[in-house]
Amino acid sequence: MSGFEIAGIVLGAFPLAIETLDKYREVAKRFRFWHKIRLEYQKCSDNLTYYQLTYKMHLKLLLLPLVVSDDKIRELLADPGGKAWKDQVVSDLLLDRLQESYELYLRHITSIAEVMQKLNHELAVNEDTIQQAISTSKGPIISRLKQAMSKDGMEYQLYKLKFSNGATVRNELFAELKDLLERMKGLLDMSKETQLVGKRALAIKASTIDAAICSFFVHANKLYRALTSAWNCYCQQQHCVHLLLQHRTNKKSEFEVLFTKSLESSWEVRQTRIVEGDDVTIGQLKKPTGSNQVSMFRGPTHREKQPIKSSLRTKSQTPTMDTRRAIPAVTLITATTLADDTDVPQISSLCISLDQGDEPCCGFLPEEDCRYYVYKLSLLQMRTPSSITLDEILRGRVQPAPTRRQRYSLALILASSFLQLLDTPWLPATWSKSDIIFTSAAADSAVFALDQPHLSRGLVAPGNTEKKATTFLHSLDLLGIILLELCFGAILENHMYRKKWPPGSNEAEKAAFDLMAAREWQVEVNEEAGPDYFEAIVWCLGGHRGTLPEVWRREMLQKVVQPLERCRQFLSGREIGSGDT
């Protein structure tokens, strides 16, 4: 029997004692000795009622942080010892809340159960003679007199004396009950302090992660420089790089990158993980397993003149059969000192290093005070590249259309990635929806992972021709419009708000008219997606104008990324019906 179940049984012991005491009062009045025990009875009754209320309030305070539903709490308190008290989930939550105090808390509950058992015995709850006297006390006067003169009646009179003379024992039991309840309250207060310490630790951790995310662009810049320094093969024009966009929730500096290469009659797609380390960090890898065969499959047809009829999936759905050559997973072990003669080579030509050797780690890229270790995860060959852009998805060229949950999850990933990558060569001011692609890496090349957007880039030395302020404003406006389109699952240019404005004679005018139309459209977001999503779009479409350049990332994290995360969590916490599209 769990401690939580015992707590329910104890709760049921109080009304039993009060009920018995009330019945005895009735018997005492009928036998006309009520005036002799009235004061002691009232004192005993008040104590029982007080400690019952105290114990019930204590249980309520215990349950409030654990049980969200008020109905559940009312059910527990109204049915002492019922099935609800056997709920293992609540019992586990109790353990999680009390932590080190849990065992002592349970012993106190057990002690209260023992005290109540003694108290009920003292009140003769289990005495057959007394129960019989209570049940027959309403009979005719002659019967009551005969009962009083019988052997059982004599025992009942002795019980009357016992009650009158038992005040000392009852007071000792009540004092013990008071002490136990005060101790339990103290343990509960200590658990609150423990929770506050835990919350503070989580807040510090979250603050550290937030700071790491806001400074992630530094790592993104370094990786880009490291890649371009090793991007020196004669077949540069045949390559393309796709960086996986992620909503990061930790401080790890890891990247997943797809390298595509055009061959004579097919395309080669290499999936890699690039991990930042230093001179005392190295990846420890499992031995290669599985087949070395590279499967070929038919390329997608979505580039043809016919409308695209592709399927979208997320990681939570059942994947189709994968035709990639699997490379063993990477297990990173830190604080392993590298010897000077380590066999992990420096990569001088990334193209060559990716093609050579069977080891998962193909070497490292040096960059200032760290190294970037490149791990090969999989290799896929196809006749033609298979991908679809964000622009095509928003234009409705996929079937089925993305659900509301998928669109909002994608909005979070894009906003978080924008914060991480703006002001780096990965995300210049001239980026567009066509730069966000979704690749296929399965036997069915028409199935794309909607929760794995990639940023398509060619590795060239970054230029400095754009003004930083212009880059920032233009990019945020574009992000706000994309978030707006993901909110409703429709593109701005087809909406009535945009058709009210001229198309624009050049890109600058078009962008200005787009922004004005988007600001009109954004008023409908609160009704469609709620205040969190609305807050994110408002900030992107003008709310950031007064933000200082040195703090815009942190403000964007608070005003855009975190509200979108709350919005996604809300959708993930309930089932989405067929109407939630």
Dump pLDDT digits (tens) for 349-408: 888 888 887 788 989 999 877 899 999 988 887 777 678 899 999 998 888 888 999 999
459, with CB counted inside 10 A (0-12, 13-18, 19+), is middle
- Has residue 220 been placed in a domain? no
- Has residue 428 been placed in a domain? no
Residue 372's pLDDT is what?
Answer: 92
| Closest listed residue to residue 302, CA positions, set 381, 388, 400 | 388
The reply to whether 16 and 136 lie within a common domain is: yes
Q: Average pLDDT for residues 138-149, to the nearest whole number? A: 47
| Closest listed residue to residue 209, CA positions, set 247, 256, 255 | 247
pLDDT at 452 over 70: yes
Residue 321's pLDDT is what?
Answer: 34
The confidence band for 57, taking pLDDT boundaries of 50, 70 and 90, is confident
pLDDT at 283 over 70: no
Which has more pLDDT, 275 or 215?
A: 275
The answer to whether the CB of 437 falls within 8 A of the CB of 388 is: yes
Q: Identify the bridge partners of residue 275 per DSSP, sorted by sequence position.
A: 254, 373
The answer to whether the CB of 253 falls within 8 A of the CB of 213 is: no
pLDDT at 150 over 60: no
The answer to whether the CB of 400 falls within 8 A of the CB of 311 is: yes
The reply to whether 260 and 318 lie within a common domain is: yes
Question: Residue 28: which domain range?
Answer: 3-210
Residue 381's pLDDT is what?
Answer: 78
Dump pLDDT digits (tens) for 85-103: 777 776 777 777 777 778 8
Of the listed ranges 181-195, 298-312, 557-571, the one predicted with least confidence: 298-312
The reply to whether 93 and 132 lie within a common domain is: yes
DSSP 543: I
The reply to whether 321 and 203 lie within a common domain is: no
Query: Which among 297-301, 424-428, 484-488 has the top mean pLDDT?
Result: 484-488
Helix 507-521 with 468-488: angle, nearest 10 deg: 50
The reply to whether 488 and 379 lie within a common domain is: no
- Has residue 10 been placed in a domain? yes
Q: Average pLDDT for residues 545-571, to the nearest whole number? A: 85
> Could you write out the three-class secondary structure of 560-576?
HHHHHHHHHHHHHCCCC
Residue 163's pLDDT is what?
Answer: 66
159, 178, 210 — which closes off a domain? Answer: 210
Q: How far apart are CA 325 and CA 316, in angstroms?
A: 22
The confidence band for 448, taking pLDDT boundaries of 50, 70 and 90, is confident
Q: How far apart are CA 428 and CA 435, in angstroms?
A: 11
- Dihedral class, residue 368 (left if φ above 0, else alpha if ψ from -120 to 50, else beta): left
Proportion of the chain above pLDDT 90, given as a percent: 20
Q: Average pLDDT for residues 452-467, to the nearest whole number? A: 70
Cα dist. 466→15, 54, 385, 463, 470 in Å?
79, 70, 31, 8, 7
Q: How far apart are CA 34 and CA 32, in angstroms?
A: 6
Helix (H, G, I), strand (E, B) or coil at 234: coil
Q: Which two tokens stand for residue 446?
A: 């028409």
Cα dist. 113→5, 88, 173 in Å?
11, 20, 12
Q: How far apart are CA 72 and CA 60, in angstroms?
A: 11
Residue 48's pLDDT is what?
Answer: 87
| DSSP assignment of 403-444 | PHHHHHHHHHHHHHHHHHHBTSTTB-TT--GGGEEEE--SSS
pLDDT at 7 over 60: yes
Q: How far apart are CA 154 and CA 145, in angstroms?
A: 11
Which has more pLDDT, 527 or 61?
A: 527
Helix, strand, coil shares of the chain, percent, nearest 5, are 55, 15, 30
- Has residue 421 been placed in a domain? no
Q: Which two tokens stand for residue 28?
A: 């005492």
Proportion of the chain above pLDDT 70, given as a percent: 68
Number of domains in the chain: 3
Which has more pLDDT, 266 or 3?
A: 266
| Closest listed residue to residue 386, CA positions, set 258, 511, 536, 211 | 258
Output the average pLDDT for the chain. Answer: 74
The answer to whether the CB of 10 falls within 8 A of the CB of 181 is: no
Residue 27's pLDDT is what?
Answer: 63
The reply to whether 259 and 319 lie within a common domain is: yes
The reply to whether 140 and 206 lie within a common domain is: yes
Residue 28's pLDDT is what?
Answer: 67
| DSSP assignment of 117-185 | HHHHHHTTTT-HHHHHHHHHTTS-HHHHHHHHHSHHHHHHHHHHHHHHH-HHHHHHHHHHHHHHHHHHH
Cβ atoms < 10 Å from Cβ of 197? 10
pLDDT at 219 over 70: yes
pLDDT at 486 over 90: yes
Cβ atoms < 10 Å from Cβ of 479? 25
The confidence band for 286, taking pLDDT boundaries of 50, 70 and 90, is very low
Which has more pLDDT, 122 or 314?
A: 122
Q: Average pLDDT for residues 150-165, to the nearest whole number? A: 57
pLDDT at 46 over 70: yes
Query: Which among 55-69, 355-369, 378-392, 514-528 has the top mean pLDDT?
Result: 514-528
Residue 105's pLDDT is what?
Answer: 81
The reply to whether 205 and 146 lie within a common domain is: yes
Max CA separation in the chain (angstroms): 119
The reply to whether 395 and 496 lie within a common domain is: no
pLDDT at 306 over 50: no
The answer to whether the CB of 134 falls within 8 A of the CB of 30 is: no
The reply to whether 177 and 238 lie within a common domain is: no
pLDDT at 159 over 70: no
Q: How far apart are CA 483 and CA 477, in angstroms?
A: 10
The confidence band for 342, taking pLDDT boundaries of 50, 70 and 90, is low
The answer to whether the CB of 403 falls within 8 A of the CB of 467 is: no
Amino acid at 352: I
- Has residue 26 been placed in a domain? yes
Place of tokens 């065969």: 293
Residue 148's pLDDT is what?
Answer: 46
Q: How far apart are CA 31 and CA 145, in angstroms?
A: 9
Residue 30's pLDDT is what?
Answer: 66
Q: Average pLDDT for residues 414-418, to the nearest whole number? A: 93
The answer to whether the CB of 547 falls within 8 A of the CB of 555 is: yes
Residue 314's pLDDT is what?
Answer: 58
| Closest listed residue to residue 97, CA positions, set 194, 183, 7 | 194
pLDDT at 568 over 60: yes
Cβ atoms < 10 Å from Cβ of 580? 11
Q: Which two tokens stand for residue 419?
A: 């914060």
The answer to whether the CB of 413 falls within 8 A of the CB of 306 is: no
Residue 573's pLDDT is what?
Answer: 59
The answer to whether the CB of 371 falls within 8 A of the CB of 230 is: no
Residue 281's pLDDT is what?
Answer: 44
Residue 441's pLDDT is what?
Answer: 58
What is the total residue count of the chain?
Answer: 581
Q: How far apart are CA 259 and CA 396, in angstroms?
A: 28
- Has residue 225 been placed in a domain? no
424, 459, 494 — which closes off a domain? Answer: 459
Q: Average pLDDT for residues 523-552, to the nearest whole number? A: 86
Residue 570's pLDDT is what?
Answer: 83
Residue 397, C-beta contacts closer than 8 angstroms, at least 6 positions apart: 302, 307, 308, 310, 388
pLDDT at 415 over 90: yes
- Has residue 563 been placed in a domain? yes
Q: Which two tokens stand for residue 42?
A: 């009232």
Which has more pLDDT, 445 or 251?
A: 251
- Has residue 297 been placed in a domain? yes
> Could you write out the three-class secondary structure of 334-385?
CCCCCCCCCCCCECCCHHHHHHCCCCCEEEEEEECCEEEEEEEEEEEEECCC
Q: How far apart are CA 235 and CA 320, in angstroms?
A: 33
Q: Are strands 330-333 and 282-285 parallel, antiparallel or unpaired?
A: antiparallel
Backbone angles phi, psi at 284, to 5 degrees: -100, 120
pLDDT at 259 over 80: yes
Amino acid at 456: S
The reply to whether 23 and 166 lie within a common domain is: yes
The reply to whether 195 and 143 lie within a common domain is: yes
178, 210, 242 — which closes off a domain? Answer: 210
